[in-house]
Amino acid sequence: MRPVGVWVKKIARFQEQPDLALPILEPLKSDTSKYVRDAVANWINDASKSQPEWAKQICKRWEKESTTKETAYIIKRGMRTLEKRK
């Protein structure tokens, strides 16, 4: 269900409205599984390509709500495309 994936068809609705995925992503923001963390981070990174402000807001909020190393990892990976653009 990634908005833009390497091996999947683009999902325009998620590209335009990434908030639709929050009920799934929110509970996973501190998951202990690296596989899950990578999936959440990739989702945010995908969304950042069409909705950069949304991605920044989510990461900023998660950074305040969760100080775990798992969340920090997701934020760092999720923001990688936006960080490259600086």
* Cβ-based burial of 68 (10 A; exposed 0-12, middle 13-18, buried ≥19): middle
Supply the pTM of this predicted model: 0.87
Whether the CB-CB separation of 3 and 15 falls below 8 Å is answered with yes
pLDDT reported for residue 2 = 62
Average pLDDT over residues 78-82: 96
| Pairwise CA distance, residues 65 & 82, whole Å | 21
pLDDT reported for residue 14 = 79
